[in-house]
Amino acid sequence: MNIFNPRTFSTDWEMLVVDKLNRCVGVDKLMGFAGTLEAELGLPIQIDWNSLEFALGINRTFTGIWERIVKATDRAQQLLREYDLDLYPAGSHPYEPMYNSSHIHVGTLYDESAGIHLENQLYKFVPAFAALAANSAVASLVRGQYKSYRVRNNAYGCTRPWSARDPHLSQRTWGSDAGPKVYGAPTLEVRIPDCASSRRFKAELATFIAAFVHCQGEQIEECQPTPEEYREFCINRWAAAKYGLQATFRWDGKAKPVTELLGEMLDACASGLQALEAKRDDFVLINTMCAKRLCQADFTIEVAKRYPEPYGFASAYGKLIRHWDVFDTYLSSAPALDPVPAPDDDAVLQEHVKFIGEGTHFYRLRDVMYFPPPAADAVVDDLVRQGMITREVTPDRGIVLSRI
């Protein structure tokens, strides 16, 4: 028996609003727009931090959510332009420290214990969703080294690698990559995707995630990941943030390109798609993205090459994405990218040693791939053993590391 009944889904699509100088509009102004849109559209549109949050109600079909997305965003753009404002649908802003998401709510779920078990089943798959939705390659004064700075930086606490949970020992948390949220809407929320800049991709992504989670809900297993599996998940999550759809994951001890994994996931949820009146062939953008290993961040990076100044980039990028289909057009003609090899143990060490200077506190290394303490401590031990760093215990700061 499936724990989702009936099969429904929605999205909380966060979007910045910018003025004529591409500065983010604050909460006071956004409240009025959210209230007007909520009243006109009959949807629970609200604000979240400095963003308009398009909560798109209860949906049961791919066509239904697509039509709702178009109607809501068309009216929002029309209303905002009356005040010389524009939507800025992107995972990050190039100057202001803002990250935005495309949360997917998968329903209908009333059993929180079953949802926590499903959370543990999903942990190894959600980095694939991060790679597919990567769209924050130009963030607050950083650009291009990661395709999702939002996932890399844990969106300032709003999304983060979860701790494996047991229903008997757990209470609700806020901001994990995915998990049950039955205290509000009776759903399991997948929080890891970046904000989408393409409406069509947003509809495809929401339907795909919902169908996959629905299918996973057909057979719930009471299990906990092993330390090795959890470490692998953390590495894959980092690779997804770094390389997007070029990433190759470490999968059950072998290398697996994330696009290959996504293809398997799409095939595995065929029955879930059918229940939402969709099929894999409907996902024109996702199929092309996987075939070419291109995500929205790759388009962003191309634009950023031409506009080094942050607000210059924001102006150019904002004018492009306001038409909603610029990524769709780019995708049809852009050349495919090559996959990046899976990070081996040496690559993991090299990534960690980049964070070490002179007298770096050891805890800073926990932010590299967000390893749990034993795995993070093992990295430090390896770096010391290989003569790459020194480790010193100090009375005032505790353990500090220095690169040799």
Q: How far apart are CA 373 and CA 51, in angstroms?
A: 35
Q: What is the pLDDT of residue 337?
A: 98
Q: What is the pLDDT of residue 165?
A: 85
Find the mean pLDDT for residues 197-201.
98
- Confidence check: pLDDT of 68 > 80: yes
Mind listing the pLDDT tens digit for each residue in 301-321?
999 999 999 999 999 999 999
Q: What is the pLDDT of residue 385?
A: 96
- Confidence check: pLDDT of 61 > 90: yes
- Of 125-139, 217-231, 363-377, highest mean pLDDT: 125-139
For 398, phi then psi, to 5°, come to 80, -140
Q: What is the pLDDT of residue 160?
A: 84
Find the mean pLDDT for residues 30-46.
96
Q: How far apart are CA 62 and CA 336, in angstroms?
A: 27
pLDDT bin (cut points 50, 70, 90) of residue 175 is: confident
Domains and CATH numbers, the chain: 8-333 (3.30.590.20), 345-403 (1.10.10.10)
Find the mean pLDDT for residues 283-288.
98
The overall average pLDDT reported for the chain is 94
Mind listing the pLDDT tens digit for each residue in 250-270?
999 899 999 999 999 999 999
Mind listing the pLDDT tens digit for each residue in 2-31?
999 999 999 999 999 999 999 999 898 999
- Confidence check: pLDDT of 162 > 90: no
Q: What is the pLDDT of residue 50?
A: 83
Q: What is the pLDDT of residue 101?
A: 95
pLDDT-above-70 percentage for the chain: 100
Find the mean pLDDT for residues 281-310.
97
pLDDT bin (cut points 50, 70, 90) of residue 192 is: very high
- Confidence check: pLDDT of 298 > 90: yes
